[in-house]
Amino acid sequence: MAENGATKTLERDGGIVIEDDWPGYSLDLFTYPEHYCGDLESVYIPHGVIMDRTERLARNIMDDIGDHDIVVLCVLKGGYKFCADLVEFIKALSRNSNKSLLMRVDFIRLKSYLNDHSTEDLHILGGEDLSVLRGKNVLIVEAIVDTGKTMKALLTHVETFKPKMVRVAGLLVKRVPNGVGGLPDYVGFEIPNRFVVGYALDYNEYFRDLNHICVISEQGKMKYKV
């Protein structure tokens, strides 16, 4: 989080912690697209749990910055479902409370993965001119934060446009040994260092059509490897 000017101190919620030995739920307990049969190990976080946690994050955001107009900066492609659901929950809360949060939504695309590995080569698409952020309160919405290098680079880039305040909402934060950044201001789940797909998170553009967050199988990695 970065701020310019006086605002109240933010109490961070580290998110729901999923332990390293959590195997996930059996696929037989849920429905998922038949074309991914054999490509998944387990359902790691069911869609309903994602939605409930996202609603809680929306309430936290309203409590913290509900008196400010904000620009929501959605990080594509993986963040689009989380961002859409988060914005809808904020809108619902805004309609039914004495706080009214005026939002504008903009989009930026980051690419730093090849197969299941994060690379040093970060591409920022659509972020050449973010002058709309100047003097604004900005909420960056990202689906997953692992090493923190990508988010650190994005924050540095966003700060060049001199926003008034920047906060970050991350649905997933991975526990990785080589992390370089702090936690997002709003965290959905803290998860082990496993490669997960679904809820718009992909493996080489596949699996975005899964509602649940799942663990990809070795067969799935080989099948869609580039």
For the annotated catalytic residues, the residue numbers are 146
The arrangement of strands across the sheet holding 213-216 comes to: 40-45, 213-216, 196-197
Q: State the CB neighbour count (10 A cutoff) for residue 96.
A: 8
- Stated as kind and residue range, the H or E segment containing 80 is helix 80-95
Residue for token pair 């880039």: 157
Q: What are phi and psi of 214, to 5 degrees?
A: -125, 160
- Taking the alpha carbons of 54, 56, 57, 59 in that order, is the dihedral positive or negative? positive
H-type alpha helices, 116-206: 149-159
Angle between helical axes of 80-95 and 47-65 (0-180°, round to 10): 50
The residue count for the chain: 226
Q: Classify burial at 156, counting beta carbons within 10 Å of its beta carbon; exposed 0-12, middle 13-18, buried 19 or more.
A: exposed
In whole angstroms, what is the distance from residue 87 CA to residue 10 CA?
Answer: 20
